[in-house]
Amino acid sequence: MGLAWGVATAQALPPVQVSILPTLTAKALLTQYQPLRVYLERELQRPVDMRTAPDFKRFHAETLSGNVDLVLTAAHLARHAQTESGYTELATYTSPNQPMVVMSQRKPVQSVVELRGQTLAVFDPVALVVLEVQQWLADQGLQAGRDYKVAVFPSHASVAHAVMAGDALLGVTATVGLNLYTAEMKEQLRVFAERPSVPALVWMLHPRLSSEAPRVKAALLAFGQSAEGKQFFASNGYRGLRAVEDRELAALDRSAREAAALLKGAQ
């Protein structure tokens, strides 16, 4: 377990324990975040240990257990960590994160009621953009499992192919997914619906380190101006970091509750 930074002596500072949401393989993720690890070690003048987890369930369980100091997590999981374990919100990426529903150009959909008795393709049932779309459908009287089937695919691309092949009437993606579409996908698919943007991944700090929050937040927000930050952002679509406000996370209470229930029931 990480220790409060102000307690340790300069001669024996324990590493800052950082955990990153497993959106990629562990090797790919830790390679991608190596520039940030180097930067944080210099700015915080502390060793930094970075790790991830095999899946979302174990990642979020470790977050709630308090075995980490600093976590990068999905916005709705950040909200759950905030309400359940007292984590402090620090920063989020500036890249857009907008839930979108796509349809086939060959089978255009005019109304959501056409989904009744059909299939919705998703890439992850716990993903925030997926939950936001399903809530939107529920508010219009369409309940997953009752009015339509949900088929889970391993990626944004496979969701797109399922819609193109007619295996699903509609598919859920997000801005990042559309950016990854090939020319063929863009030719055959159209956006059926767009939902309001939600925060991207969020950096959160454990409450035992709340006195260090201003320092860590300042370091994260200045990351983009460093040599390491420029290297990091050149390799992905995150663009930069900005402060995240409590009201942004509070708006995700519904998704936070649903995600927590799904993770609790996951095998």
Q: What are the distances in angstroms from CA 183 to CA 186, 189, 237?
A: 5, 10, 19
Domain boundaries, the chain: 16-95+198-265, 99-194
Q: Is the pLDDT of residue 8 over 70?
A: no
Beta-ladder partners of 193: 101
pLDDT score at 96: 83
What CATH class is the domain 16-95+198-265? alpha beta
CB atoms within 10 A of CB 103: 20
Backbone angles phi, psi at 87, to 5 degrees: -60, 150
- Of 85, 87, 70, nearest to 219 by C-alpha is 70
- Of 69, 76, 81, nearest to 19 by C-alpha is 69
Q: How many helices (H) and strands (E) does the chain have?
A: 12, 11
pLDDT score at 69: 97
What CATH class is the domain 99-194? alpha beta
Q: What secondary structure letter does DSSP report for 9?
A: -
Percent of the chain at pLDDT exceeding 90: 84
What whole-number distance in Å separates Cα of residue 233 and Cα of residue 262?
32
pLDDT score at 6: 52
pLDDT tier for residue 10 given thresholds of 50, 70 and 90? very low
Q: What secondary structure letter does DSSP report for 148?
A: B
What whole-number distance in Å separates Cα of residue 204 and Cα of residue 91?
8
Mean of per-residue pLDDT scores for the chain: 93
Pairing state of beta strands 149-152 and 119-122?
parallel
Q: Is the pLDDT of residue 203 over 90?
A: yes
Backbone angles phi, psi at 196, to 5 degrees: -60, 145
- pLDDT tens column, 218-262: 999 999 999 999 999 998 889 999 999 899 999 999 999 999 999
Mean pLDDT of 119-134: 96
CB atoms within 10 A of CB 90: 24
Within the chain, where are the H helices? 26-32, 34-44, 56-65, 75-85, 128-139, 156-165, 175-180, 183-188, 213-221, 227-234, 246-250, 253-265
pLDDT score at 222: 98
pLDDT tier for residue 104 given thresholds of 50, 70 and 90? very high
When mean pLDDT is compared across 54-58, 78-82, 162-166, the lowest value belongs to: 54-58
16-95+198-265 and 99-194 share one fold: yes
What whole-number distance in Å separates Cα of residue 123 and Cα of residue 172?
7
pLDDT score at 3: 45
